[in-house]
Amino acid sequence: MVRFGTASAVPGERDTGRLEVGETRDGSSVGLPVAVVNGAADGKTLYIQAASDGDELNGVGVIQRVLPRLDPSEIAGTIIVCGIVNYHAFQVAEHRNPIDDTKMNRAYPGDDTGTSSERIAAATFDAAIGADLVLDLHQGSTSRMIEECRVRCGTRHRLHSECLELAKVFGCGHILDQKGPDGQLARAAPDEGVPTIDPELGGCVGWDEESIRKGVDGVFNVLTYYGFLDGHYSPTPQTRASGFEQYGAPAGGLVDFQTDLGERVSRGETLFEITDVFGQVKETITADSSGIFWRSRRLPQVATGEYVCSVGTDIDTY
């Protein structure tokens, strides 16, 4: 029997339920939607979660499409899922948990007697570190972004090669291989011996079918490669960046991008211009390094110092 919250399944069965993580302000129970798919044969355990940032919905779309296709009788091992991690933020379509104004993916490994976000992080972290592999599904939130997998443990970590392999198997096409900030699940779970990545499935608030499709393909790549499902999958080379440069606006106005997501840029090449409302160019911003145009803001208007875009640097093929 495998249990996760109120979901429980013996080998060859599946179940859904709720993982209780506290109460709302009126005393109602807060239960995260969870699922267990317990394969008929023995094997590894995969933990998948989505929406740890409440406005990043593409991961929820992936889970919604993957779960109905999983037949326990055809699976070796166990798949454990939390469909919505940041419950409070999801309810109001916000990035951060409005109960404690916290970004959930900075709260791991959590604290089961702490704040709302710390308690949710602790409950889901317990599931993550009980698995053999972890997929923490994200997207660019309000920014436009290429599909990528982030390896956040750092190149000197003892599990770096295992995390990098998992990212290659998922197969978004791009990997950001750079140590992440404290509190990320993909940074904390490898410290407990569990290879973990956070696929970033496109960007901008909403529901993008192409990014969701790539996420679904990525999950099934993992399930096949690691033996949960019969079949053979050979990972393809991925474009890897180990550096990440961010660019802000040197003046206020409207952004006019001169390159598109995923394009190669050279050092000194124009990334964007800032114009006034009459179309006059106020500033021209060029790339500090060669790389790939990785991420950009969605809305054109900016104030001085506001985030505009990012370039992935130190590019190779893995």
Return the beta strands (E) in the chain as ranges: 2-4, 7-9, 13-23, 29-38, 41-50, 76-82, 133-137, 143-145, 148-151, 174-177, 196-200, 239-248, 253-257, 264-265, 270-275, 281-286, 291-297, 301-302, 307-317
Rounded Cα gap, residues 142 and 156, in angstroms: 31
- In 3D space, the residue among 238, 239, 255, 242 whose CA is nearest the CA of residue 289 turns out to be 242
DSSP 8-state symbol, 288: S
Q: What is the pLDDT of residue 240?
A: 98
Task: Output the CA–CA distances (angstroms, integers) from residue 145 to 279, 289, 293, 297, in the order listed.
Answer: 26, 19, 9, 9
User: Are the beta carbons of 63 and 116 closer than 8 angstroms?
Assistant: no
Answer for the pair 65, 212: CB distance below 8 angstroms, yes or no.
yes
33-88: pLDDT as tens digits? 999 999 999 999 999 999 999 999 999 999 999 999 999 999 999 999 999 999 99
DSSP letter at 130 equals T
User: Nearest 5°: CA angle at 279, between 273 and 285?
Assistant: 10
State the pLDDT at residue 63.
98
Residue type, 142: T
Q: Convert the pLDDT of each residue in 157-169 to its tens digit.
A: 999 999 999 999 9
**300: phi then psi, degrees, rounded to nearest 5:** -80, -25
Residue-level pLDDT, tens digit, the chain, 318 residues: 999 999 999 999 999 999 999 999 999 999 999 999 999 999 999 999 999 999 999 999 999 999 999 999 999 999 999 999 999 999 999 999 999 999 999 999 999 999 999 999 999 999 999 999 999 999 988 899 999 999 999 999 999 999 999 999 999 999 999 999 999 999 999 999 999 999 999 988 878 999 999 999 999 999 999 999 999 999 999 999 999 999 999 999 999 999 999 999 999 999 999 999 999 999 999 999 999 999 999 999 999 999 999 999 999 999
The helix (run of H) or strand (run of E) holding residue 64 is helix 58-66
Q: Are 294 and 259 in contact (CB under 8 A)?
A: no
**pLDDT score, position 142:** 84
Closest CA to 142 of 205, 90, 199: 205
pLDDT given at position 205 = 81
Dig out the tokens for 57 from the structure: 């919905």
CA angle 200, 202, 208 (to 5 degrees): 125
For residue 310, the cross-strand partners are 246, 295
Q: Which two tokens stand for residue 296?
A: 């950009």
Taking the CB of residue 79, how many other CB atoms lie within 10 A of it? Answer: 27
Asked whether 162 and 192 are in contact (CB, 8 A), the reply is: no
Cis before 109 (ω within 30): yes
Helix axes 160-170, 209-225, angle to 10 degrees: 120
